[in-house]
Amino acid sequence: DFAEISIKDIDQIAKTSFPLCMRHLFEKVREDHHLKHGGRMQLGLFLKGVGLKVDDALAFWKAEFAQKVGAERFDKEYAYNIRHNYGREGKRTDYTPYSCQKVILSTPGVGDHHGCPYRHFSEENLRAALARMGVGSRIVEDVIDKARNRHYQLACTLTFEAGHGSSCDAGVNHPNQYFIESQKILQ
């Protein structure tokens, strides 16, 4: 398995191997130096599943949040939750990354960036995001069609296949599975 990723590789890996839901959150935290709770949970647990160790996770989030709220407030208000997700605080539950179903059924509000883009983005924003990923216009139409018909995971599978030039017979059912399938092809 792909047990570990390091912070220095993370931007590159996000571009090539993160599904759109996580890529969007990743880009937002880099851009805004902040994410609301739902986004921190969705991305944070995904990164944990991808193999980011707790100390690297703390460094990653701190580097961004410190630019917005300062290092001290980060340590006071946000670090606990990250350690908590890794089972280092509270009941010491080892929280698992969200499945597609869980992400698709989430209900992002104003200012939230979590959720599944194939469900929660406007058509216009989805088109723009797909274009940024380099998906060709004919495939974009297929993806939009699937999303419109509420086949979000099929839409994601088509995007995966377009981006990797390879079929994904198992389909996409978990963001971390998307990542693993991608790394299998790219490594």
CB of 48 to ligand SF4, least distance (A): 16
Name the one residue in this structure whose structure tokens are 């917005």.
Answer: 68
Q: Which of 5, 10, 47, 103 binds ligand SF4 (CB under 6 A)?
A: 103
Mark the segment that binds ligand SF4 (CB under 6 A) among 16-24, 68-76, 136-144, 163-171: 16-24
How many chain residues bind ligand SF4 (CB under 6 A)? Answer: 15
CB closer to ligand SF4 out of 20 and 79: 20
Q: Which of 52, 57, 156, 158 binds ligand SF4 (CB under 6 A)?
A: 156
Contacts of residue 138, defined as CB under 8 A and 6 or more positions apart, other chains included, come to: none
- Does the footprint of ligand SF4 cover residue 116 (CB under 6 A)? yes
- Does the footprint of ligand SF4 cover residue 20 (CB under 6 A)? yes
DSSP track, 87-142 = T-STT---PPPPPHHHHHT----TT---S-HHHHS-HHHHHHHHHHTT--HHHHHH
108 exposure class (CB count in 10 Å sphere: 0-12, 13-18, 19+): middle
Which DSSP letter does residue 34 get? Answer: -
| Alpha carbons 78 and 126: distance in angstroms, whole number | 30
CB closer to ligand SF4 out of 85 and 153: 153
Q: Which of 79, 178, 181, 182 binds ligand SF4 (CB under 6 A)?
A: 178
- Does the footprint of ligand SF4 cover residue 5 (CB under 6 A)? no
Mark the segment that binds ligand SF4 (CB under 6 A) among 31-39, 72-80, 100-108, 130-138: 100-108
- Does the footprint of ligand SF4 cover residue 179 (CB under 6 A)? no
| Alpha carbons 13 and 5: distance in angstroms, whole number | 9
| Alpha carbons 175 and 157: distance in angstroms, whole number | 11
Contact residues for ligand SF4 (CB under 6 A)? 19-21, 100, 103-104, 116-118, 152-153, 156, 172, 175, 178
